[in-house]
Amino acid sequence: AYRARHIWGAVYADLEHDLSGPPLIDHGRHPLPSPQALEALFVRLGIEDRTQVVAYDAAGGSIAARLWWLLRYMGHDKVAVLDGGWQRWIAMDYPVTAGEESNAAGCFHGAPQRHLLHTIDELAQASLLLDSRDPARYRGDYEPIDRVAGHIPGAINRCWKDNLDAEGLFFSADELHLQFTTLFKETPPQRVSVYCGSGVTACHNLLAIKHAGLEMGRLYAGSWSEWCLDPSRRVARHSE
């Protein structure tokens, strides 16, 4: 799809091969790339320390938000997500091009910001767990991908798609601020750990929290696909 049509000047990053690490038996479906792999990726994409990055996709911003989070995780805060993504760009009749583009190698220097991440062994440090999957998967009504249905005990639910209006645009910062502060109640946002199925769409909720002007919580990157691998871990069904 990228080679057929894309925004002029855009280079391509693939979720499976670029924004995820190699599959691991005891981890989730989209493990984080190593810091070394991320640095090499950003160099290849032409990102330098002062580069303003704008990420977009055709998936409601869910994959673009993963790139947004990975850049912030590596200490690069000059990154944004295009509101409305590819669909909005096309609807506005903005120019597109075809083929494949590349940038001169960048000079990227980053370091992992560990305060943005929770491992499975650190989840107990979170005051609140936020599940970003659709409500039916959260409740355990069905599970189309992972081996077990349900959610991590104690987690509350907010589907990442609830950050968008009917036209696929983010709600205003004020509206999102109201929604998240109501959802979190007395819990400080930075004490929230966010997960989904595999650590991708959870980034969309983290982006929305940041857009709302709140301090960003942490990503549990392994997410449900890691949690449910061990049959000794408790599983909850229905709503908390």
Distance (Å, whole) CA 21 – CA 32: 5
Angle of helix 35-44 relative to helix 62-73, nearest 10 degrees?
Answer: 110
Measuring CA to CA, how many Å separate 77 from each of 44, 103, 110, 113?
Answer: 18, 20, 11, 11
Within 8 A by CB and 6+ apart from 118, the residues are 125, 126, 193, 218, 219, 220, 221
Distance (Å, whole) CA 84 – CA 211: 14
Q: 196 an active-site residue?
A: yes
**In the chain, count of helices (H) and strands (E)?**
7, 9
Q: Which residue in 26, 20, 236, 21 sits closest to 129, CA to CA?
A: 236
Q: Which residue in 49, 95, 52 sits closest to 75, CA to CA?
A: 49
CB 16 within 8 A of CB 45: no
**Amino acid present at 88:** R
Distance (Å, whole) CA 212 – CA 183: 13
Active-site residue, from 159, 196, 203, 228: 196
CB 33 within 8 A of CB 21: yes
Residue written as token pair 């409601």: 60
Tokens of 121: 């062994």
Catalytic center residues:
196
